[in-house]
Amino acid sequence: MLDEPTAALGVRETLQVLDLIRRLREHGRSVVLISHSMPEVFAIADRVHIHRLGRRAAIVSPKTTVMSDVVAVITGALRSDAVVSAALAPARADC
């Protein structure tokens, strides 16, 4: 479980952390990443659990959901039922 692991890192170090997460996934390991950096989340996540006001609002696939919709749910600008759930997205073996 990684909570904002790249928050205080430079570009090179951030890329190293993201590469480590990818390598862990390739070896069958699960990683829980807590982050406000949507570009990083969308670059490496299989699923995105969106939270708003301390509660899970939705679970989506970064392959079928646009980043702006995720941010809109986080901020309350969009209702969570307006985004496609990961449960509705095609199943992937690496999830």
Cβ atoms < 10 Å from Cβ of 40: 18
Asked whether the whole model's pTM tops 0.85, one would answer no
61 burial via Cβ count (<10 Å: 0-12, 13-18, 19+): buried
Q: Return per-residue pLDDT of the chain as tens, 95 residues.
A: 999 999 999 999 999 999 999 999 999 999 999 999 999 999 999 999 999 999 999 999 999 999 999 999 999 999 888 886 655 544 444 43
